[in-house]
Structure 1
Amino acid sequence: MSELRQRPTAARSEKTEIPQRRRSSDNDGDHGISLLDMIRVIVTLIVASCGLSYYMTSTESMLWGYRPWFTRWPVVKQWVNGPVNLTPAQLSLYNGTDTTLPLYLAVNGTIYDVSENRMIYGPGGSYNFFAGRDATRAFVTGCFKDDLTADIRGVETMFVPVEDVVDEALTSAQKKIRRERELRAAKAKVEATVKKWQGFFANHKKYFEVGRVVDGVADGKEWPLCESAEKQRPKRSAMKEKS
């Protein structure tokens, strides 16, 4: 009799044990967010960002304007071939007339490839006169007609005051010291202007450096200051009035 009474109890314990096992197995499958899920989310965000960038930049970039050099074939090709060294005569061939050649210009002896802007620097472009040459002097003076040369000797004069005051209470020695000080300041301005333009082409998203101009050292008579630059010179009398 005791055995018969114990059997239902054992049966009931087996029934209650079954749902407990099920609940345990359900909990085992719930691990939260997996590493694979995180990877999927990150990849989705990257793809979405690239697509939006491609649309917002009018198909120019999938990285919001950032274009690594290794994604630009002309830059990679130049890197593989190495820097070029061109004489002024050789550089003149890269003025856009021959469409099989890249479009080059130079600033302070450094050559830059501007082929991606042929509408500006190519034949018929508003700045085609810069192509195929080193026109550093024109970048400083703004005389695009008269100063298309790399010779910047004496160009600092455009920043030196015109001596239009006759009776100054200064000795010759004092005037000489002042002149030397003003010349140093003027040369620093020229250097800063040249560096600014070099930085413009070196850091431009469409242009890149390709090499150097060789055998382009200026010789002979010093290049005269153009009329426009001469008119820009400060006058001593105006400086005295301001002070």
Structure 2
Amino acid sequence: MSELRQRPTATSKSSNGPDKESNPRQHTINDETDQDHGISLLDIIRVIVTLLLACGGLSYYMTSSESVLWGYRPWYTRWPVVKQWVQGPVTLTPSQLSLYNGTDTNLPLYVAVNGTIFDVSANRMIYGPGGSYNFFAGRDATRAFVTGCFKEDLTNDLRGVEIMFLPVEDVEDEGVTSAQRKIRREKELRAARARVEETVKRWTGFFANHAKYFEAGRVIEDGGVHGEPWPLCESAQKQRPKRSAIMEKS
């Protein structure tokens, strides 16, 4: 009998080796799997940039077009401050400082508190000629900032200003010896001077931390404070506490 060759079946064909004809659908799935590598660095950058732009736009809207950083303005983003930093701090005598009262528009507008000069040129409507606070311009009027007497106390002389915080002796202090009265007076005097310092510090901080103002330099006294102490203005006298009121509270 002649030897017959057995025709290979599908089973034998698959068992002999892998199918040479691959499934097109399987190819597509594999390709998509190979291409899916997750979120790329570029995608992350795009998300971050989008969030920053959205945050800046919201800040610009909420702050009435003043800032894209929610009110924060670094000093190096303000040209007048950068210019002052490059030029260095100014040192002026009181007579030189008086030239910076807004009359000469080519000069900055300066206000001084406790010897520190602040540039308030950004608010000429208030501190410039005709402004409601022009009397502060071109001078150190620290005493007026403490007493509130804007006509009488336009000076830096703080001598005796602590009296406005000392009680008026409007009643007889029976049962208190002279020694006790002296100790009490010294204690009240220290507290009064501390209040003066606190008030001056608060006003200095107001100008130093203002969004539109900045420190420009220092005032150099040409001769210093001399003569009789500045008298306490009438308005400050009226603000003084009374001994009778203090005794009632105690």
CA deviation profile, 1:172-215 (whole Å, cap 9, x unmatched): 22211111111000000000000011111111111111111001
Is the helix fraction higher in 1 or 2? 1
How much is the aligned-residue C-alpha RMSD, in angstroms?
Answer: 2.0
**1:1-243 mapped onto 2 (5 Å cutoff):** 1-2=5-6, 5=9, 9=14, 13-16=19-22, 19-166=25-172, 168-215=174-221, 217-243=224-250
Count residues with an aligned counterpart: 243
1:165: how far off? 2.0
Larger Rg: 2
Q: Give the TM-score of the pair, scaled to structure 2.
A: 0.90
CA 116–2 in structure 1, closer or farther in 2 if over 3 Å, else same: farther
Identity over the aligned pairs, expressed in percent?
71
- Where does the alignment leave 5 or more consecutive residues of structure 1 unmatched? none
1:16: how far off? 3.3
SS of aligned partner of 2:99: helix
Find the aligned partners of 1:18 and 1:177 in 2 and give their Cα distance.
103
- Where does the alignment leave 5 or more consecutive residues of structure 2 unmatched? none
CA 81–47 in structure 1, closer or farther in 2 if over 3 Å, else same: same
1:3: how far off? 6.5
Q: Give the TM-score of the pair, scaled to structure 1.
A: 0.93
CA deviation profile, 1:47-75 (whole Å, cap 9, x unmatched): 12222322332322121211111100000
Point out 4+ residue stretches in structure 1 off by more than 4 angstroms.
2-12
1:18: how far off? 5.1
1:219: how far off? 1.2
